[in-house]
Chain A
Amino acid sequence: MSVAAATTVIGKRRATRVASNPDRRRRVRTAFLFLTPSLIGVVLFLVIPVIFVMVLSLTRWNLLTPIKWVGFSNYANIFRFDGFGHSLLVTAYYVVLNIPFQTVLALGLALLLNNKRTGSAFIRIICVLPFLATPVAMGVVWNWFFSPTGIINQILAHVGITGPAWLSDQATAMPVIAFASIWQYAGYNMLFFLAGLQAIPLSLYEAASIDGGTKIQQFRRVTLPLLRPALLFVLVTTVIGSFQVFDTVYVMTAGGPGNATKVANLNIYNTAFAGFRIGEASAMSVVLFLIILVITVAQFRYFNKRTTYEIG
C-alpha cells in the first residue's frame, strides 16, 4: 500500500471526526448529565463513607470533643471490652441457623411448586408475600405468637407440652429470630430457584431417564449442578443480609436475654448511637465488612472451582 493511500484514509477519518466533533461533545455532555445524580449518590453515600469509616476506626471520638488519633487500639478494645467477639459468634450462630434452613426450604418450595397443577401458581404467589412484610411489624406479631401465653404455647399445651418462654430463654431466643427470617425470605429465594429450574432443558431429563436414571439420581446429577448459579446467588445475598441482621432482633429481644442475641449490628448500633463511641463502632463496622467480604469471595471461589471441575 502506498503512503498516499494511507494518508487519504487518515485524512478522511480526521474529516469525519471533525464533522461529528460538536455532535460527539454534546453527546458526552448529555451522558455525564445523565450520570451525574447517581454518581454523586455513589461517591457521597458509598465511596466516601467506606473510606471515612476506616479513618474513623483509628480515632477516639464522641462527636463533641476533638478527634483523637489512637491508631489500631480500637481493634483490640472492641474485642476486649465491648464483647464484639461474642457478638460475632452470636451473629455466626444466627447465620448457621438461618442459611441452611432457608436455602433448603426455598429449594424445596421451588421443586414442589414448579408445575402447572391447579393451585401451584397461587401458592407461589403466597410464598412471596412475606418478603414485603415490614420486619419490625412482623417482629411484633412474632412476639405475640411466641409470648409465654401465645398461640405457639397454647398449641403445645394441647398436646401436653409446657412451652418455654421462647424469647426470654437463652436457648430458644435465637432460633425464634432465625425462624422469623426464614419465614420472611424463604419464598423470595424460592423465586430464584424457580427461575433456575425453568432454565434447565427438559431434554436433559429425558436423556437421563432413557439412561435409566431414577428421579433421585436425576435430581443429584442434573437438577442440582444446573441450579448452581441460582444457589450461588441465593447464598451470597442471604449471607450478606444475615450478617447484618438488625430489625427483627431489635424488636424481638433487643439483644437479650443477657447478651444471647446481641448480634454484631446491634452492638455497632449501641456503641455508636447509645454510647457515642464513634471510633469503636467504626472499627466494628470494618471488621464485619472484612468478614462479609472474605466469605463472599470464598463463596465465589468455591462455586467457580466446582463449576469448572464439572465442565472439565
Chain B
Amino acid sequence: MASIASVKPASASVSRASTTTSPSSLGKGIRLAVFYLLLLVILLVFITPYLFSAFAAFKTLPDILAQSPARPPMHPTLENFKTIFTQYDFGRYLLNTLLVTIILTTGQVLFSMLGAFAFARMDFPGREGLFWMYLATLMVPNVVTLVPLYVMFAHSGLLNTYWAIFLPYVLGVPASVFLMRQYFMTIPKEVMEAARLDGCSESRILWRIVVPISRPIIITATLLAVVFGWNNFLWPLIVTNSNSLQVLSVATANFNSNFGVQWNLILAASLVALIPMVILFAIFQKHIVRSISLTGINR
C-alpha cells in the first residue's frame, strides 16, 4: 500500500519525460510491475510454510537437516507417515478429530439455526430479554469459562470422554445464532405469514422457505464451526488425557514436545492436521471468502 502510494508520483514524472505519444504508458508499466511483484511476495509469504513443510514431510531426517527446505524431495519417502500412523496412533487421532468436528458442526449449525429462527420470526414471551442474554454472552471470552467448565465436567464424570470435547459447542453458540438471526430478519415477513395462513407448520416454513433462501449464511456458519472444531486445542487438551481420545491438535502438540528435533516426524504430523483444512479450502474457497465477509460488517 505505502509503496504503491510512493511509486505513483515518481512514475508519473518519468512517463512525462519519456514519451509524448502515450504519456502514461511507461508509468503504468512500472506501477503494474510493482503491483505484480507485491502479489508474488504475498503469494510466497502465504504459501511457503505449507510448501516447505510438505517437502520436508516426504524427506528423511538427514535430508531435512542437510538440504535447503526449498528443495523438493528427490526421493520422496512415505516412511514418516508410515511411522506416525503405525508406531503412533495418528490414524486414530485423525478419526477422533473428524468425528468430533462432524458432531460439533452438525449440532451447532442445526440448533443455532432453530434458535435464530425463533428469535427472528416467531413471537413468544420473553423474546427480547432472552435475546439480550445471548448478545451479552457473545462478549464472554473463552478463557473465562475454561476453569469453571472444567470443574463442571469433572463433577459430572464427563472428563476423558468424547462428550467432553464437543458438548460445550454442540448445542448452538450465540455467535452462530446471532449471525443467522440477522440473516433471517431480512426475509420478508409476508412470505411466512402467507405460508402460515395456508396452514404451514413452523418447521415446514423453516425447512421449505427459510433454509433454501438462507443457504449462504448456513454455509458460513458451517464453515466457521468446522474450522473451529478442527483447530480447537485448549479445551480438548484439558478435558482429555487418555491417548485414545486425543484429537489431532493435542496429539501434534504432544508429539512436538516429545520429539522436539525429529523434524521429519513432527512435520509429517503437522501436515496431517493441516492438509484437510487446505482441501476444504480448495473446494469451498469462493464460499469461504464470500461468507467471511458476511459475518462482519453486516452485523
Q: A123-B42, A191-B296 are in contact. Are A272 and B111 (CB under 8 A)?
A: no
CB of A141 within 8 A of CB of B148, answer: no
Partner of B114, one of A34, A141, A269: A34
Cβ–Cβ < 8 Å partners of B288 in chain A:
128, 132
Q: B236 CB to closest chain A CB, in angstroms?
A: 10
Q: B55 CB to closest chain A CB, in angstroms?
A: 11
In the complex, which residue of chain B has the Cβ closest to the Cβ of A135? B231
Q: CA separation between A56 and B144, bound complex, in Å?
A: 12
Cβ–Cβ < 8 Å partners of B231 in chain A:
132-136, 247
In the complex, which residue of chain A has the Cβ closest to the Cβ of B255? A140
Is B258 positioned at the interface, with any CB of A under 8 Å from its CB?
A: no
In the complex, which residue of chain A has the Cβ closest to the Cβ of B167? A45
Q: A34-B118, A38-B177, A240-B141 are in contact. Are A49 and B270 (CB under 8 A)?
A: no
Q: A34-B114, A112-B38 are in contact. Are A56 and B147 (CB under 8 A)?
A: yes
Q: B112 CB to closest chain A CB, in angstroms?
A: 6
Cβ–Cβ < 8 Å partners of B18 in chain A:
none
Is A178 positioned at the interface, with any CB of B under 8 Å from its CB?
A: no
Cβ–Cβ < 8 Å partners of A108 in chain B:
1-2
User: Which residues of A from 14 to 73 have beta carbons under 8 Å from B?
Assistant: 24, 27-28, 30-32, 34-35, 37-42, 44-50, 52-53, 56, 63
Is B130 positioned at the interface, with any CB of A under 8 Å from its CB?
A: yes
CB of B274 within 8 A of CB of A138, answer: yes
CB of B289 within 8 A of CB of A130, answer: no
Is B249 positioned at the interface, with any CB of A under 8 Å from its CB?
A: yes
Partner of B299, one of A199, A233, A286: A233
Count of A-B contacts judged by CB separation below 8 Å: 297
Q: A19 CB to closest chain B CB, in angstroms?
A: 14
Q: List 11 A-B contacts (CB under 8 A).
A: A37-B111, A42-B133, A53-B147, A109-B42, A125-B289, A134-B249, A136-B252, A144-B56, A194-B293, A244-B142, A246-B233
CB of B46 within 8 A of CB of A52, answer: no
Is A289 positioned at the interface, with any CB of B under 8 Å from its CB?
A: yes
Task: Give the residue among A30, A47, A117, A151 with the most B Cβ atoms within 10 A.
Answer: A30
Partner of B146, one of A42, A109, A240, A272: A272
CB of B143 within 8 A of CB of A244, answer: yes
In the complex, which residue of chain B has the Cβ closest to the Cβ of A234? B296
Q: A42 CB to closest chain B CB, in angstroms?
A: 6
In the complex, which residue of chain B has the Cβ closest to the Cβ of A124? B289
Q: B150 CB to closest chain A CB, in angstroms?
A: 7
Stretch at the interface among B19-27, B72-80, B81-89, B120-128: B120-128
Cβ–Cβ < 8 Å partners of B115 in chain A:
34-35, 37-39
CB of A50 within 8 A of CB of B145, answer: yes
Q: What 5 additional pairs, Cβ within 8 angstroms, besides A123-B43, A150-B69, A250-B233?
A: A27-B202, A120-B39, A129-B46, A141-B53, A268-B146
In the complex, which residue of chain A has the Cβ closest to the Cβ of B119? A35
Is A281 positioned at the interface, with any CB of B under 8 Å from its CB?
A: yes
List the 3 closest A-B pairs by CB distance, nearest first: A41-B171, A38-B172, A38-B115
CB of B112 within 8 A of CB of A289, answer: no
Q: CA separation between A140 and B273, bound complex, in Å?
A: 11
Is B203 positioned at the interface, with any CB of A under 8 Å from its CB?
A: yes
Q: B68 CB to closest chain A CB, in angstroms?
A: 7
CB of B133 within 8 A of CB of A47, answer: yes
Q: CA separation between A243 and B151, bound complex, in Å?
A: 23
Is A188 positioned at the interface, with any CB of B under 8 Å from its CB?
A: yes
Cβ–Cβ < 8 Å partners of A27 in chain B:
122-124, 202
Q: CA separation between A5 and B39, bound complex, in Å?
A: 75
Cβ–Cβ < 8 Å partners of B2 in chain A:
108
Partner of B130, one of A39, A56, A125, A281: A39
Contact with A along B91-112 (1 / 0, CB 8 A): 0000000000000000100011
CB of B234 within 8 A of CB of A195, answer: no
Partner of B252, one of A129, A134, A183, A196: A134
CB of B267 within 8 A of CB of A141, answer: yes
CB of B273 within 8 A of CB of A129, answer: no
Cβ–Cβ < 8 Å partners of A31 in chain B:
118, 122-124, 202
CB of A134 within 8 A of CB of B274, answer: yes
User: Which residues of B from 158 to 211 have beta carbons under 8 Å from A?
Assistant: 167-174, 177, 201-203, 206
Q: B75 CB to closest chain A CB, in angstroms?
A: 20
Task: Give the residue among B42, B139, B169 with the most A Cβ atoms within 10 A.
Answer: B42
CB of B292 within 8 A of CB of A188, answer: yes
Q: CA separation between A209 and B111, bound complex, in Å?
A: 50
In the complex, which residue of chain A has the Cβ closest to the Cβ of B114? A34
Q: A34-B122, A233-B297 are in contact. Are A187 and B114 (CB under 8 A)?
A: no
Contact with B along A170-198 (1 / 0, CB 8 A): 00000000000001000110011011100
In the complex, which residue of chain B has the Cβ closest to the Cβ of A57? B147
Contact with A along B272-299 (1 / 0, CB 8 A): 0110011011000110110011001101
Q: A144 CB to closest chain B CB, in angstroms?
A: 6
Is B10 positioned at the interface, with any CB of A under 8 Å from its CB?
A: no
Partner of B202, one of A34, A41, A144, A251: A34
Cβ–Cβ < 8 Å partners of A130 in chain B:
46
Q: B297 CB to closest chain A CB, in angstroms?
A: 5
Q: A171 CB to closest chain B CB, in angstroms?
A: 22
Cβ–Cβ < 8 Å partners of B43 in chain A:
123, 126
Cβ–Cβ < 8 Å partners of B280 in chain A:
132
CB of A40 within 8 A of CB of B277, answer: no
Cβ–Cβ < 8 Å partners of B201 in chain A:
30
